[in-house]
Amino acid sequence: EPEVTQTPSHQVTQMGQEVILRCVPISNHLYFYWYRQILGQKVEFLVSFYNNEISEKSEIFDDQFSVERPDGSNFTLKIRSTKLEDSAMYFCASSGGGGAGGELFFGEGSRLTVL
Amino acid sequence: GENVEQHPSTLSVQEGDSAVIKCTYSDSASNYFPWYKQELGKRPQLIIDIRSNVGEKKDQRIAVTLNKTAKHFSLHITETQPEDSAVYFCAASDDKIIFGKGTRLHILP
């Protein structure tokens, strides 16, 4: 069964460093998302991406965050200058239909620890 | 934007009994309501979903109900089993999916 894959599974970084989290969505999906989950808390929407551009972003997704689809398969989340409060599990997700159009398939997540 | 409230935050039920989790949403434009189950350290996985043109949907021991007028929707799990222990998230969407805060369900032996 096709699935969303994410790398790395765990990254430890120093505050102020740049981090890139990578995702390979399901191949025929058109809608891509990043969510984050601080330990023990809810899954929070960060950004949605369709047709090679951001379609929506939350207030969490400020100027230190960016997303890119550098080629036909990868979808990346970059955090430019990490802060302690960026420590969380970051989930990539993809959908065939977008929003109300289809099920979100999540990757296994990338755990980011900022020291 | 959409705001999803979920209750209770924690729920303990005896094995074999039923569990009910309730959610409300704020945006009347939302028309898709999925429920996700998240086991410890794992990704959220869809267990059931309902669209706004339907009032109820059932899949074996799991059922969801939707009241669009009141902007309420609920998850019902019957004949609960130990493997139902997890965190359950409701969500609502018109274009992006917004999650509730989650309910930690404990099934007691």
Q: Any CB–CB contact under 8 A between B10 and chain A?
A: no
From chain A residues 22-51, the ones with a CB under 8 A of any chain B CB are 33, 35, 41-45, 48
For chain A, residues with pLDDT lower than 50 are none
What lies within 8 Å, CB to CB, of B63 at 6+ separation is: B48, B56, B57, B75, B76, B78
pLDDT, tens digit, 9 for 90 and up, residues B1-11:
889 999 999 99
What is the rounded end-to-end Cα distance, in angstroms, of chain A? 37
| Residue A1 pLDDT | 78
- CA nearest to B97 within chain A: A99
DSSP for residue B84: G
Q: Is B14 exposed, middle or buried (0-12, 13-18, 19+ CB in 10 A)?
A: exposed
Nearest to B44 among A45, A100, A106 (CB): A106
Q: Any CB–CB contact under 8 A between B50 and chain A?
A: no
Token pair belonging to A62: 């400020």
CA distance B40 to B38: 7
Beta strand B62-67 pairing with B72-77: antiparallel
| Residue B96 pLDDT | 85
Nearest to B31 among A42, A43, A100 (CB): A100
Q: Any CB–CB contact under 8 A between A9 and chain B?
A: no
**B69 min Cα distance to partner chain A (Å):** 19
What mean pLDDT is predicted for residues B42-70? 93
- CA nearest to B35 within chain A: A103
| Residue A44 pLDDT | 95
DSSP for residue A85: G
Sign of CA dihedral A21, A26, A30, A31: negative
> Which amino acid belongs to residue A106?
F
Residues of chain B with pLDDT > 70, as a percent, come to: 100
From chain B residues 63-102, the ones with a CB under 8 A of any chain A CB are 89, 93-102
Token pair belonging to B25: 């949403």
A-chain CB neighbours of B38 within 8 Å are 43
Does pLDDT of B24 surpass 90? yes
Token pair belonging to B42: 């794992």
